[in-house]
Amino acid sequence: MLSINQKRIEELIKVKISMLLVKGLKDPRLDNFITILNVKLAGDGRSARVVFSVIGSEKQKHDVLEGLQSARGYIQMRLAKEMRVKYIPHLIFELDDETEDRVRLVEKINRLSEESNRE
């Protein structure tokens, strides 16, 4: 079970990375619509899994993953400047493909619901 401090750090990392993405990193691969869904801090606080989603083609998703991995050092440096924690975790970026599937499913349900209401 995570302590309140670890949960606070996870949320802070999520917000800080989101802000960096909004302000824009210089990598053109990161110009897509990227959403940070979750940050999961390891028990020792030395690493964190950052789960994100991208709406776009498979190539765009792959490019965003490469862009985030390339910008990892810069992102960690910015986190170190803005956070007061003993260790800045090593960031591990993971793409969540299920979000786009969920969006399609909701759209399909809405479409079927509209069709049944017309009849």
CA distances from 29 to 25, 47, 62 (A): 9, 24, 9
**Arch. (CATH architecture) of 4-118:** 2-Layer Sandwich (3.30)
Boundaries of every domain in the chain: 4-118
Neighbours of 94 (CB within 10 A): 14
What are the pLDDT digits (tens) for 39-69? 999 988 899 999 999 888 889 999 999 999 9
What are the pLDDT digits (tens) for 2-47? 577 889 999 999 999 999 988 878 888 888 788 899 999 998 889 9
What are the pLDDT digits (tens) for 96-115? 977 777 778 888 888 888 88
Neighbours of 89 (CB within 10 A): 21
pTM for this entry: 0.78
Average pLDDT over residues 88-101: 87
